[in-house]
Structure 1
Amino acid sequence: MKKTYKLSREPEVLRPDLCIIGAGSAGLSVAAIAASFGASVVLVEKSRMGGECLNVGCVPSKALIAAAQQAHAFRHAERFGIGSGDDPAVDFAKVHRHVKGVIAAIAPMDSVERYTAMGVQVIQAEASFTDGRTVTAGGKTIQARRFVIASGSRPAVPPIPGFDQVSYFTNDTIFDLAEKPEHLVVIGGGAIGVELAQAYRRLGARVTVLEAGERILSREDPEMAAVVERALRREGVALRVGSAIARIEPRPDSRFAVVLEEGESVEGSHLLVATGRQAVTEGLGLEAAGVESDPTGILVGRDLKTSNARIYAIGDCVGGDGAMGRFTHAANHQAGLVIRNALFRLPIRWSRAPIPRVTYTDPELAAVGLTEEEAKAAHKAIRILRWSFADNDRARAEGATEGHVKAVVTPRGRILGCAIAGRHAGELIMPWVMALSKGSKVSELAGLVYPYPTLSEVTKGAAVEFLKPSTQNPWLRRLIGLVRRLG
């Protein structure tokens, strides 16, 4: 009788320069830059290419906000002599198609095909470390020279009794909603919560925001957050601050009631949980790799290396002091730093770059550097410079006079921080970001030539405020008098 033998195949071993776990903004940026330098790259992604930003975050939310802005403009066009001021007919199915269409238009830039064409080997599977220098994924063993964990984050759902008895959305699922909510209840008054609350209100839904803290946008300067709060209330968003939740109860016809600790109930038709995001670390085999983490995410040093010097962590999965606010632009910045160190051994310190943040409400709220409270805690003396959009001619012409610039500087004019609440604040913050990055003084911003009439002149207005006290200097006045006598 002839014996048959089954040949065992050893797992394929890949030895690239870099192995990146996660194909969100952070991971894709590292892969693209490294491949452009000719490095060998393996990119592992267990879910969708593009990660949170493309599929359920920045891209769909801004597409929805843009649709809501059109509806808002239609309602208020009468003040410019156009239309009748009637409510627009909002077709939620078409709005939904618009959002999905924007995602589909951008998706090819993040696709497997594009990265494969760059020379990146993409493995669509779950990755897990088996030891400090080995990852397995999709039946392959990867022993890279360096690893980059960019596993991203997921919505954080608080342990409120009753969540398991009702249906609810997070920002990962809300963009699948193709119908108008009768009454959308938003739990959480952070950036995601207030952005989507305003958008759905402008699209015709009744909206209530429940925030357990004393105010919305608690991480921002209260003076600037108040500008956004006034706008939301004026548009009909019901804001309930200091509203701690006791439980959630189901109601007939798929409705629900959010029961507050003081006993009052808020009933709604659709529930959105917007209480932040948490790092994705489970299943990665961090312990086997010798990578330290805590409940906030993976811990890194200022060089973005984990406790295993071969492994970096960037983007939303980073916790502790290394977290940079979970912004796409911060993740992209970290990606560039990792390339410098991993491929060229150049020293890096991620904390040096000022990272701006923007809340995309209308008006927008953008900020960079220290708030007034933080600056007072760190410096003996500061000056606050303000300039209102109401004093800007372009804002007057466009009927967008709400908001102001608030800059925090030292008595000698060194910029410590700036916040802008107003039209296009996210664009207008960039001169302040540049000034902070270069260590410039506010007088340098005052000395720039700004095109007229543009909203950018609000920066000049605030910067010139720093110079005004010098006009009262008695020595300067004596000098003017001397020049006058000289003819």
Structure 2
Amino acid sequence: MPDTRTLKADVVIIGAGSAGMAAYKSARQFTDSILVIEEGHYGTTCARVGCMPSKLLIAAAEAAHHARHSGRFGINVAKVEVDGKAVMARLRAERDRFVGFVVEDVDGWPDAHKIRGSARFVSPNRLMLDDATEIEAGRVVIATGSRPIWPAAWNALGDQLIVNDDVFDWGDLPSAVAVFGNGVIGLELGQALDRLGVRVKLFGRSGRVGPLTDPVVAAVARTTFAAEYRFSPSVEALAVRREKGKVVVTERIDGQAVEEHFDYLIAATGRQPNLDRLGLENAGITLDERGTPVGWNRRTAQIGESTIFLAGDAAPDAPLLHEASDAGRIAGENAARFPFVAARHRRTPIGVVFSDPQIMMVGQSHAQLTNAQAKFITGSVDFSGQGRARVAGRNVGRLNIYAHPETGKFLGAEMVGPAAEHIAHLLAWAIEADRSVQQMLDSPFYHPVIEEGVRTALRAARDAMDEKSPAHRPCLDCRSAA
């Protein structure tokens, strides 16, 4: 019989990604009785296969794109050549550098706090590892992340079915790729690979464009992307098969079945939380129809009244590093200080897609406001005529901001357009500060900058409020020159 052992800890953290690392650092402020269980690589999805390597690929793609289109400024580049091997070599080198910083951090933790293996609940406060080690846990933080999902039939493609993780290990760029999924990952990878000279087609089903929910903004994004590369967010794919070393995709176009051959199919069709292998039923945790633990509290990270906490991509939270880190910090603190559990502030939602033009969403989305039957008005700006955007040749896109028609409070925004990553921060900070549209207009705007487009949208929102509720119109002496 194999040797067995039993370990004990006040706080046991399952997973050492962004949320798990944040939970560990937070919990360690209150107890030194901690165990972190990890079955795979230490470190974050962001550094290894997410944010950073994708941005490295996008940076190379933008360099090629700008060189090809420099003629509009009177700058002629005779020939643009993409060295796929060099692109991928730089990507991997920089990616490994980022990962190294994360691993170095974990290497600095005491060895007694780390254990390798996969964990499963046998009771609410007892875990068993795959090597039969038993762990008695005072409290447990689940930070197991998520994994890609795709239709089971695609498994017949073998090694020609890949996910974004696999892209970053390529030694060279392929000649043709089918990208399935019009979410954030599909948008970023599809456009970047196309700009690097790969024949790309993006296949979507929902018709949506990334996370956008505002139909007007989404329509602008759809038209813009489709004008640059083969972006098809509403496709009727009839079949996917492997034939003679190629991925063959059959779709219906104008009533006809049309086939196209690719080197790979990138599955960017969604992710699911890594909760199904934990034996949560043995811990008394019930999952709803979406696979979410019933009773999970976003502001405490606690599941019901249990001693189990959940954070990161495994939770029904935004799959973003800063959200995972925030949730991990809250989970670690509350697990360590249990039975004292404090509800902590969660920052204003902010999301960015690093396509070109970029997409951003802050605060409450159009869909959230509409579904809640909330009162709101919309202020807009079309960037096609915006001064600084035209100067830079980036005059494409639209920003819609949402405000309460009576109080004037700024509620949220959706945008596709230039400098969206920066505008997103400004607007998120305004929500954090509980600013009104008028207060935002009273803030300084330099000239000429992209942010002047925000002022245009704010003015439109103010005008809409004046028309809708003239009784709430500020007196002229109280209104700034904005």
* TM-score category of the 2 structures, normalised to the smaller one: 0.7 to 0.9
SS state of the match for residue 27, structure 2?
A: helix
Amino acid at match of 1:232: F
CA distance in 1, matches of 2:261, 2:474: 66
CA distance in 2, matches of 1:239, 1:475: 45
Which residue is 1:399 aligned to?
A: 393
Q: What do you get for the CA RMSD once the two structures are aligned?
A: 3.0
Which aligned pairs between 1:283-294 and structure 2 lie closer than 5 A? 283-294=277-288
Is residue 147–residue 273 contact of structure 2 (8 Å, CA) maintained in 1?
yes
Residue 60 (structure 1) aligned to one of 28, 53, 57: 53
SS state of the match for residue 70, structure 2?
A: helix
Which residue is 2:382 aligned to?
A: 388
Identity %: 27
Amino acid at match of 1:216: V
Which residue is 2:311 aligned to?
A: 314
Cα offset, 1:377, TM superposition: 4.0
TM-score (norm 2): 0.87
SS state of the match for residue 278, structure 1?
A: strand
Residue 360 (structure 1) aligned to one of 354, 357, 362: 354
CA distance in 2, matches of 1:478, 1:296: 50
Which residue is 1:485 aligned to?
A: none
165-174 or 398-407, which moves further after superposition?
165-174
Amino acid at match of 1:238: R
1:324-368 CA deviation, whole Å, 9 max, x = no partner?
232222212212322443344343167x64311211101110002
SS state of the match for residue 416, structure 1?
A: strand
Is residue 228–residue 362 contact of structure 1 (8 Å, CA) maintained in 2?
no
Residue 424 (structure 2) aligned to one of 424, 429, 436: 429
Is residue 415–residue 442 contact of structure 1 (8 Å, CA) maintained in 2?
yes
Is residue 132–residue 289 contact of structure 1 (8 Å, CA) maintained in 2?
yes
Question: Is 2:331 aligned against 1:338?
Answer: yes
CA distance in 2, matches of 1:340, 1:128: 23
Residue 27 (structure 1) aligned to one of 20, 30, 34: 20
SS state of the match for residue 176, structure 1?
A: coil
Which residue is 1:104 aligned to?
A: 96
1:379-430 CA deviation, whole Å, 9 max, x = no partner?
4642110123345443233221111321011112122220121122122112
1:443-473 CA deviation, whole Å, 9 max, x = no partner?
1211111343332333233223333468897
Which residue is 2:413 aligned to?
A: 418
CA distance in 2, matches of 1:150, 1:358: 23
Is residue 4–residue 133 contact of structure 2 (8 Å, CA) maintained in 1?
no
Is residue 363–residue 403 contact of structure 1 (8 Å, CA) maintained in 2?
yes
Is residue 202–residue 231 contact of structure 2 (8 Å, CA) maintained in 1?
yes
CA distance in 1, matches of 2:44, 2:419: 26
**Relative contact order, higher structure (CA 8 A, sep 6+):** 2
Amino acid at match of 1:245: A
Which residue is 1:114 aligned to?
A: 105
CA distance in 2, matches of 1:34, 1:98: 37
CA distance in 2, matches of 1:173, 1:380: 43
Question: Is 2:297 aligned against 1:305?
Answer: no
Which residue is 1:221 aligned to?
A: 214
* 1:38–1:393 distance in 2 versus 1, CA, 3 Å: farther
Which residue is 1:242 aligned to?
A: 234
Which aligned pairs between 1:82-161 and structure 2 lie closer than 5 A? 82-84=75-77, 86=79, 88-111=80-103, 113-119=104-110, 121-137=113-129, 140-160=133-153
* 1:173–1:296 distance in 2 versus 1, CA, 3 Å: farther
Amino acid at match of 1:43: V
How many residue pairs get aligned? The number is 464
CA distance in 1, matches of 2:436, 2:82: 48
Residue 278 (structure 1) aligned to one of 256, 272, 283: 272
CA distance in 2, matches of 1:340, 1:139: 29
1:230-273 CA deviation, whole Å, 9 max, x = no partner?
332222x2123432333222222x11211236633232222111
CA distance in 1, matches of 2:451, 2:209: 27
Is residue 162–residue 265 contact of structure 2 (8 Å, CA) maintained in 1?
yes
SS state of the match for residue 160, structure 2?
A: coil
CA distance in 2, matches of 1:294, 1:378: 22
Cα offset, 1:295, TM superposition: 6.2
Amino acid at match of 1:147: V
CA distance in 1, matches of 2:17, 2:77: 45
CA distance in 1, matches of 2:93, 2:436: 44
Amino acid at match of 1:271: L
CA distance in 1, matches of 2:473, 2:439: 20
Amino acid at match of 2:64: A
Cα offset, 1:132, TM superposition: 1.1
326-335 or 162-171, which moves further after superposition?
162-171
* 1:230–1:134 distance in 2 versus 1, CA, 3 Å: same
CA distance in 2, matches of 1:377, 1:150: 30
